[in-house]
């Protein structure tokens, strides 16, 4: 059975009807290039936004713990459909089976987090300088939220945003990547089951918009959508930010990463090799947190590169549905073009390919992950290529290594492997890593949902998922109540009439 045929079978089991077919947007699997058909585009975007605005008027009146009940039911439905949805992620995004399962588990975990959050949307009580006055700060629902997601996490990114937005009182409009439309339709079908069990949710509370870049741009420009949460390339994020800023809206951006690992002489190299392998080649190097740059102390560089090269030579590459496969396909031919171009540029800039870099002869777009030793942090190294290329550079001074790590436009994830407390703490200090995520003795990829996820600089500055990321989906309001019979003004101002 082709990957696309299997995907259609799963869609039928999940309740996605035949009405989605017969459109203009192709649905293909990167596993073997097979086509499931073409999906119907959403026609009336004005109606989508109008439904979301009407839903907001009702949903913001529902108590937050009751809103959390909907997300709890979503978590139950995801548990029941985990294997099917995970398989669909594998078929459509090319992830190996355990990564597909892990992505759906992440959705379930975020549901659990958001359910608890629905009873903890805390504000503050503040002392007033005026006698007989009470002052407090509270958080109110914001309005419809637009979620623009990328192909590499076709369902988890929606869950990070949607679960928090729903408990905060906000309807959700989802514009998924054109490359992973089936996973979005399946997720909506699962959510529809939760909505049916919930019973009194307003129409338009959660909608999927099927379309290309033009649809996303039109929605981002709509002033009725106060928050746009966009995940994707820095180029895309800058375009979204300009559009949203022009109408004084808010944008929550999760954009490019060019993540580094610093390996020091005291590091446990066995651990480092395992962390490098997963971080650099997992999802075929198509994670925003993938390891792109390996910064190794010059005294251990040759030994570490030799061990990595041996590990890369034995990487099982192939159909991600098969047991034992660790590296699946690139998403499409454009991704392979970027892979080839980056390797050519690296060679022009003095790089030497240690291992990999070739295309694998089979249906789909498969490559051998590459390790490239570079003489310096050149232009190609500073650019994020969404493919399994690991650039290796050496250093002799730890301060210089940290400076090298920070000397790229992106600022998402980072890590250091060391057994030195001083090096570890310096890396985590204010003058250490400038990234939103900083790890010690674990790789840059594979964040847990409890911590707010996001980065700085060209990564966009947004934060999703855990911690207090919920505040992005709400509006802050300072409230003052005068329960006295006087009317004193603040700062001692007198205005007697």
Residue 328: predicted pLDDT: 98
Residue 447: predicted pLDDT: 81
Mean pLDDT of 357-361: 97
Q: What is the pLDDT of residues 369-428, one digit of tens each?
A: 999 999 999 999 999 999 999 999 999 999 999 999 999 999 999 999 999 999 999 999
Residue 159: predicted pLDDT: 98
Q: Is 456 helix (H, G, I), strand (E, B) or coil?
A: strand
Query: Is pLDDT above 90 for 325?
Result: yes
Q: Are 406 and 429 in contact (CB under 8 A)?
A: no
Q: What is the pLDDT of residues 196-227, one digit of tens each?
A: 999 999 999 999 999 999 999 999 999 999 99
Residue 103: predicted pLDDT: 98
Query: Is pLDDT above 90 for 70?
Result: yes
Percent of the chain with pLDDT over 90: 98
Residue 1: predicted pLDDT: 83
pTM above 0.75, yes or no: yes
Query: Is pLDDT above 90 for 326?
Result: yes
Pairing of strands 291-297, 352-355: unpaired
Catalytically active residues are 254, 288
Residue 245: predicted pLDDT: 98
Q: What is the pLDDT of residues 422-451, one digit of tens each?
A: 999 999 999 999 999 999 999 999 889 999
User: What φ, ψ does residue 43 adopt, rounded to 5°?
Assistant: -90, -55
Pairing of strands 413-417, 259-263: parallel
SS3 content of the chain, % helix, strand, coil (to 5): 40, 20, 35
Query: Is pLDDT above 90 for 14?
Result: yes
Q: What is the pLDDT of residues 243-285, one digit of tens each?
A: 999 999 999 999 999 999 999 999 999 999 999 999 999 999 9
Cα 117 to Cα 466: distance, rounded to the nearest angstrom: 10
111 exposure class (CB count in 10 Å sphere: 0-12, 13-18, 19+): buried
Alpha-carbon distance values, 64 to 121, 226, 354, 368, 472 (Å): 8, 20, 55, 49, 16
Residue 446: predicted pLDDT: 81
Percent of the chain with pLDDT over 70: 100
Residue 496: predicted pLDDT: 85
Mean pLDDT of 75-102: 98
Q: What is the pLDDT of residues 125-162, one digit of tens each?
A: 999 999 999 999 999 999 999 999 999 999 999 999 99
Residue 227: predicted pLDDT: 98
Paired tokens of 458: 């060209």
Query: Is pLDDT above 90 for 330?
Result: yes
Q: What is the pLDDT of residues 307-316, one digit of tens each?
A: 999 999 999 9
């Amino acid at each position: 059975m082709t990957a696309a045929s299997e995907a259609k079978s799963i869609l039928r089991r999940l309740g996605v009807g035949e009405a989605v077919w017969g459109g203009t947007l192709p649905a293909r699997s990167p596993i073997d290039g097979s086509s499931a058909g073409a999906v119907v585009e959403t026609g009336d975007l004005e109606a989508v936004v109008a439904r979301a605005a009407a839903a907001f008027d009702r949903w913001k009146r529902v108590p937050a713990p009751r809103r959390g009940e909907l997300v709890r039911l979503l978590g139950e439905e995801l548990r029941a459909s985990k294997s099917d949805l995970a398989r669909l992620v594998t078929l459509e995004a090319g992830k190996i089976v355990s990564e597909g399962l892990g992505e759906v588990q992440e959705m379930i975990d975020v549901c659990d987090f958001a359910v608890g959050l629905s009873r903890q949307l805390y504000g503050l009580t503040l002392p007033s300088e005026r006698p007989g006055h009470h002052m407090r700060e509270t958080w109110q629902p914001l309005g419809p939220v637009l979620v623009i997601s990328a192909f590499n996490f076709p369902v988890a990114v929606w869950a990070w945003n949607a679960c928090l937005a729903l408990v905060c009182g906000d309807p959700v409009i989802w514009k998924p990547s054109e490359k992973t439309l089936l996973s979005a339709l399946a997720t909506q079908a699962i959510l529809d089951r939760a909505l049916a069990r919930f019973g009194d949710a307003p129409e338009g509370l959660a909608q999927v918009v099927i379309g290309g870049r033009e649809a996303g741009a039109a929605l981002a420009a709509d002033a009725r959508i106060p928050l746009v949460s966009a995940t994707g390339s820095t180029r895309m994020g800058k375009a979204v930010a300009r559009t949203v800023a022009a109408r004084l809206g808010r944008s929550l951006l999760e954009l490019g990463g060019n993540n580094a690992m610093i390996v020091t002489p005291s590091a446990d190299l066995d651990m480092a090799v395992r962390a490098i392998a997963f971080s650099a080649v997992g999802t075929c190097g198509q994670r925003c947190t993938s390891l792109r740059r390996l910064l190794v102390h010059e005294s251990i560089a040759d030994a570490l590169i030799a061990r990595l090269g041996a590990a890369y030579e034995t990487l099982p590459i192939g159909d991600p549905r098969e047991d034992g496969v660790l590296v699946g396909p690139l998403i499409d031919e454009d991704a392979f073009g970027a892979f080839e171009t980056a390797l050519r540029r690296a060679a022009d800039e003095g790089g030497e390919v240690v291992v990999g870099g070739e295309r694998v002869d089979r249906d789909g777009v498969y490559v051998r992950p590459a390790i490239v030793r570079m003489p310096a942090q050149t232009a190609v190294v500073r650019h994020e290529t969404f493919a399994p290329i690991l650039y290796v550079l050496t250093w002799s001074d730890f301060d210089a290594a940290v400076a090298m790590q920070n000397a790229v436009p992106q600022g998402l994830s980072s890590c250091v492997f060391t057994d030195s407390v001083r090096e570890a703490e310096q890396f985590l200090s204010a003058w250490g890593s400038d990234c939103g995520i900083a790890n010690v003795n674990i790789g840059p990829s594979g964040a847990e949902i409890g911590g707010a996820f996001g980065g700085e600089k060209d990564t966009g500055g947004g934060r999703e998922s855990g911690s207090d990321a919920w505040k992005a989906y709400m509006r802050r309001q300072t409230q003052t109540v005068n329960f006295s019979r006087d009317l004193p003004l603040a700062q001692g101002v007198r205005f007697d009439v």
